Amino acid sequence: MSFTCSICFARQDSTKSHLRLRAKRSGEFLDLVLDFFCMATTPKPLLYRPPPRWQWWAAFGGAVAIHLTAVAVAQKREAPVEVPPDVPTAVVEATLQATEEPTPPPEDIPLPEPPPPPEIKPEYVEETTPPPKKPTTQKFAPIKAPQAAGRPGTMSISSAKALATYAPRPQYPYEARSRHVTGSGVCVVDVDPGSGSVTSASMAQSIGSPILDNAATSAFRQWRFKPGTVSKVKIPITFTMTGASY
């Protein structure tokens, strides 16, 4: 079989060369047609030869290139240009104001001279002296001497407490406490109005125990009041086991 294929290829090559020579020599179109017909009837080789691989890759690359080119061209298409709407142009009418020409200042008109003042003759007036006034005597009211304030009367202890500046409480003697001596009485206190000091203190009503009477009077003699407010104070006092109260 290989021998037969080689013979066929040799015949094809010889036929092609023969056609070229005849075409060059004669140049007749009919002869060329007959020669091509002979080539078509010539048997072809029986072996199958697949196309080379590079042709397949070339075809695939060409298809990819064509596809990418088409995509790029589609993207590069210019978007339609939007024409902005016509904006109405505002027509501004300029009005020219006529400039007023300055008016010339008024001319100075001379004023008429005032008439001369009339002459005034001096009038003579006789001076009359008024009669002398009689001196008036003012009457002064006699100034009365201030009356001395009356001596304040006897005051209760409730009112005197507010006027006292120093008022110590009477102490319950230990001797009377130990004996359980209790009782009530009334003490009268005389006060100097000028100084507010107590001048004397006496029991108008005895408590019933000399020890308690002395404790009450000795404590009330130490009291002090505001000057001029108190002259005599009447103080009721009671001694119990808890102490003195008034």
Cβ–Cβ under 8 Å, residues 15 and 35: yes
Extract the runs of DSSP E, i.e. beta strands, from the chain. Answer: 154-156, 164-166, 183-191, 198-205, 224-225, 232-240, 243-245
Rounded average pLDDT over 222-238 = 93
Any domain includes 78: no
Q: Which of 23-27, 65-69, 106-110 has the lowest mean pLDDT?
A: 23-27
For the chain, give the percent of residues with pLDDT over 90: 30
- The answer to whether residue 112 scores a pLDDT higher than 60 is yes
pLDDT at 70: 81
* Lookup result for tokens 């006699």: 142
Q: Which residues of 99-119 are buried (b: 16+ CB within 10 A; e: fewer)?
A: eeeeeeeeeeeeeeeeeeeee
Cβ–Cβ under 8 Å, residues 202 and 188: yes
- The answer to whether residue 46 scores a pLDDT higher than 60 is no
- The answer to whether residue 29 scores a pLDDT higher than 90 is no
Rounded average pLDDT over 194-214 = 93
Rounded average pLDDT over 53-73 = 80
Any domain includes 94: no
Helix, strand or coil, per DSSP, at residue 228: coil
CATH number of residue 222's parent domain: 3.30.2420.10
* Averaged pLDDT score across all residues of the chain: 72
Q: Which of 57, 74, 101 is the last residue of a domain?
A: 57
* Lookup result for tokens 């407010």: 229
Any domain includes 148: no
Torsion, Cα 241 237 176 169, to 10 degrees, reads: 80
Extract the runs of DSSP E, i.e. beta strands, from 74-197. Answer: 154-156, 164-166, 183-191
Sign of the CA dihedral with 26 first, then 27, 31, and 36 last: positive
- Considering all CA atoms of the chain, what is the largest pairwise distance in Å, rounded to the nearest integer? 193
- How much is the pTM? 0.39
CA gap 47, 55 in Å, rounded? 20
Rounded average pLDDT over 199-216 = 94
Confidence of residue 234 (pLDDT cuts 50, 70, 90): very high
- The answer to whether residue 143 scores a pLDDT higher than 80 is no
> Structurally, how many domains does the chain consist of?
2
- The answer to whether residue 90 scores a pLDDT higher than 90 is no
CA gap 120, 154 in Å, rounded? 92
Any domain includes 238: yes
Any domain includes 114: no
Any domain includes 14: yes
Query: Which residue range(s) make up the domain with 183?
Result: 154-245
pLDDT at 27: 53
Any domain includes 178: yes
Confidence of residue 179 (pLDDT cuts 50, 70, 90): very high
Helix axis angle for 29-41 and 2-25, nearest 10°, is: 170
Rounded average pLDDT over 48-64 = 74
pLDDT at 145: 39
Rounded average pLDDT over 197-217 = 94
Any domain includes 39: yes
